[in-house]
Amino acid sequence: MNNPNETASKKYKYDTIYFNKPLYDWVPIVHNNVDLINNWKKFDIKKYTYGYDNYIYVLSKVLPKIKQNKDDLFIYIGNQLSLDKYGKIAFKAHIKNYLYWRNNIPYDGNPIYEKPSKAKKRSENFSDELALCTWEALDSCQKDIYIDIVKSVFDYLKQVIITEGIQNLSI
């Protein structure tokens, strides 16, 4: 059985390219940066898991929106961009992935997909509550995780712009 190159829902492909980078390369960049921002214990994220698919869902919504609104990247570089609208996009994408995994149980009968760990299972009630919330109803701590994901994307793109700019200035 071949391993799929897509989310369990088959909605997003892992190799879709945004800003010259496939989503499967974006996931560890963002995941590791979110761990660093929050001072969390670092762990490698694996394909065919709820968490990996969650990043793919979020990135598949956030990256095209940044591409569509490229000025936002430069506004971010100037420290003038509120990340709230992108956090809201990330939150909505997370909920769609969560609902898919909750309602379809892709690991049931399919050995490719990994069942969420007990630690993740304990947060299901929290996630069920979140699935019914609006962005505006979240408290600042709940919003922070989505803002951290978006900030990680913008910070990476900012670094690429700065690095490429310096390289282009070199003789």
Q: Is residue 46 part of a domain?
A: yes
Q: Is residue 100 part of a domain?
A: yes
The region of weakest confidence among 36-50, 107-121, 154-168 is 107-121
Q: What is the pLDDT of residue 125?
A: 47
pLDDT higher than threshold 80 for residue 171: no
Please give the residue that has the higher pLDDT: either 55 or 3: 55
CB atoms within 10 A of CB 28: 13
Nearest to 69 by CA among 86, 56, 52, 84: 86
Q: What is the DSSP letter of 6?
A: B
DSSP H helix total and E strand total for the chain: 7, 2
pLDDT higher than threshold 70 for residue 124: no
Cα(162)–Cα(169) distance, integer angstroms: 11
Q: Is residue 62 part of a domain?
A: yes
CB 53 within 8 A of CB 97: yes
Nearest to 66 by CA among 87, 96, 38: 87
- The residue type found at 105 is I
Identify the band that residue 121 occupies on the pLDDT scale cut at 50, 70 and 90.
very low
pLDDT higher than threshold 90 for residue 91: yes
Identify the band that residue 170 occupies on the pLDDT scale cut at 50, 70 and 90.
low
Q: Is residue 80 part of a domain?
A: yes
The distance in angstroms from the start CA to the end CA of the chain is 51
Identify the band that residue 123 occupies on the pLDDT scale cut at 50, 70 and 90.
very low
Mean local confidence (pLDDT), 2-29: 93
Q: Is residue 94 part of a domain?
A: yes
The angle, 0 to 180 degrees and rounded to 10, between the axes of the packed helices 84-104 and 140-169 is: 120
Q: Is residue 6 part of a domain?
A: no
Mean local confidence (pLDDT), 135-153: 94
What's the structural domain count of the chain?
1
pLDDT higher than threshold 70 for residue 118: no
Which domain, by its residues, includes 86?
Answer: 17-169
Q: Which residue has the tokens 């399919």?
A: 110
pLDDT higher than threshold 50 for residue 122: no
pTM confidence score: 0.90
Query: How many residues in the chain?
Result: 171
Cα(47)–Cα(32) distance, integer angstroms: 15
Q: Is residue 81 part of a domain?
A: yes
Q: Is residue 137 part of a domain?
A: yes
The per-residue pLDDT of the chain, averaged, comes to 89
Condensed to tens digits (0 to 9), the pLDDT of residues 25-72 reads 999 999 999 999 988 888 889 999 999 999 999 999 999 999 999 999
